[in-house]
Amino acid sequence: MSGLLDRVRGALVGLKMPRALEALDHTLHRLEQGEITALEAIDTLLSEEYSTRETRWIDVALKTARLVPIKTLEGFDFAFQPSIDRERVAALAQLDFIRRAEVVHFLGPPGTGKSHLATALGVAAVKAGRSVYRATLAELVEALSKAEREGRLIEKIRFYTRASLLIVDEIGYLPITQGGANLFFQLVNARYEKGAMILTSNRGFAEWGEVFGDPVVATALLDRLLHHAVVMHIEGASYRLRGHADLIPEHVRANAPIAPPPPPKRRGRPPKIKNGAASL
């Protein structure tokens, strides 16, 4: 019996099943006591190992997607932001928008939960087996600019289009040069109707011409980003500053509503990419 047990342990080590090896003695004890059948014992060992591997895989996938620290919808304080339609967010968490290659926009002042909701939906997508990548707009533009200088722009755009869901955070926080705006347009154009996106911004769509330094590029971006889109406006105070409201100037506390999106206008043929630059 001891020799057979040693062979089982050796097999588990060779198959790299550490969690099953760890649970072996306790499972055999339950089997000997008649608490479980032989088939249930096998199922227990395999289930323990599978659960451990799945957890490990999810942890790796979340880090690769740049979704750490992890945010969840369960951890979001909807009571603090009553302007958010909780049922609508729950519907997004079903992830059908990814299958339909739609774009989700979270618009609102800083600290109102835009990034939390975007990250939480990304976490849900990873747990559902979808590939996800998250970056700020500034990070994306910097990476694309570097790739262009090194002659790897097409390769880099392909990298960003492979993910089922691309999350672009913090649109409007830092100025974007016209060249950077053109590069971002190329990425958006490559994902258009092919891959889902979540975008967060503290600026209304009417201000995107200022954000991207070029009203023409901004219009071309909105033409694609609003074609198949879900737009959620968040109004309210900053959650991060909830304990220090008395220290914030009154003109900052007053949250002006973000302007609604202008209807996208299609004029002639869509922009083309020529020699690595967007032709708008």
Residues 7 and 80 reside in one and the same domain: no
Residues 174 and 138 reside in one and the same domain: yes
| pLDDT over 50 at 279, yes or no | no
Residues 38 and 165 reside in one and the same domain: no
Q: Which residue from 163, 198, 199, 197 is spatially nearest to 61, judged by alpha carbons?
A: 163
User: For the chain, what is the largest distance between any 2 Cα atoms, rounded to a whole number of angstroms?
Assistant: 80
Residues 57 and 85 reside in one and the same domain: no
The per-residue pLDDT for 255 is 47
Residues 34 and 76 reside in one and the same domain: no
Q: Average pLDDT, stretch 252-259?
A: 47
pLDDT-derived band at 278, boundaries 50, 70, 90: very low
What CATH number is attached to the domain comprising 113? 3.40.50.300
Strands 277-279 and 272-274, by their bridges, are: antiparallel
The per-residue pLDDT for 267 is 46
| pLDDT over 90 at 268, yes or no | no
Q: Average pLDDT, stretch 129-137?
A: 97
| pLDDT over 80 at 151, yes or no | yes
What is the reported pTM?
Answer: 0.76
| pLDDT over 60 at 269, yes or no | no
The per-residue pLDDT for 261 is 46
| pLDDT over 80 at 266, yes or no | no
The per-residue pLDDT for 55 is 86
The per-residue pLDDT for 270 is 46
58-79 burial, b at 16+ Cβ within 10 Å, e below that, comes to: eeebbeebbbeeebebeebeee
Instruction: Give the angle subtended at the CA of 135 by the CAs of 132 and 136, to the nearest 5°.
Output: 150
Residues 22 and 136 reside in one and the same domain: no
Residues 208 and 102 reside in one and the same domain: yes
Yes or no: say if 105 and 232 are a contact pair by the CB < 8 Å rule.
yes
| pLDDT over 80 at 280, yes or no | no
- The C-alpha atoms of residue 163 and residue 177 are separated, in whole angstroms, by 26
Domain boundary residue among 63, 89, 104? Answer: 63
Domain that holds residue 98: 68-279
Yes or no: say if 57 and 64 are a contact pair by the CB < 8 Å rule.
no
| pLDDT over 70 at 8, yes or no | yes
Strands laid side by side in the 196-201 sheet: 132-136, 165-171, 196-201, 103-107, 229-233
Residues 85 and 44 reside in one and the same domain: no
Residues 220 and 125 reside in one and the same domain: yes
Residues 242 and 272 reside in one and the same domain: yes
Domain boundary residue among 29, 47, 63? Answer: 63
Q: pLDDT digit string (tens) for 9-32?
A: 999 999 999 989 999 999 999 999
DSSP 8-state symbol, 267: -
Cis peptide before 249 (omega within 30 of 0): no
Yes or no: say if 212 and 175 are a contact pair by the CB < 8 Å rule.
no
Residues 131 and 261 reside in one and the same domain: yes
- The C-alpha atoms of residue 242 and residue 190 are separated, in whole angstroms, by 40
233: three-class secondary structure by DSSP? strand
Domain boundary residue among 37, 63, 89? Answer: 63
Q: pLDDT digit string (tens) for 186-202?
A: 999 999 999 999 999 99
Residues 112 and 132 reside in one and the same domain: yes
More reliable by pLDDT, 206 or 268: 206
- The C-alpha atoms of residue 210 and residue 206 are separated, in whole angstroms, by 9
Residue 120 structure tokens: 């939480």
Dihedrals φ, ψ of 224, to 5°?
-90, -40
Structural domains in the chain (count):
2
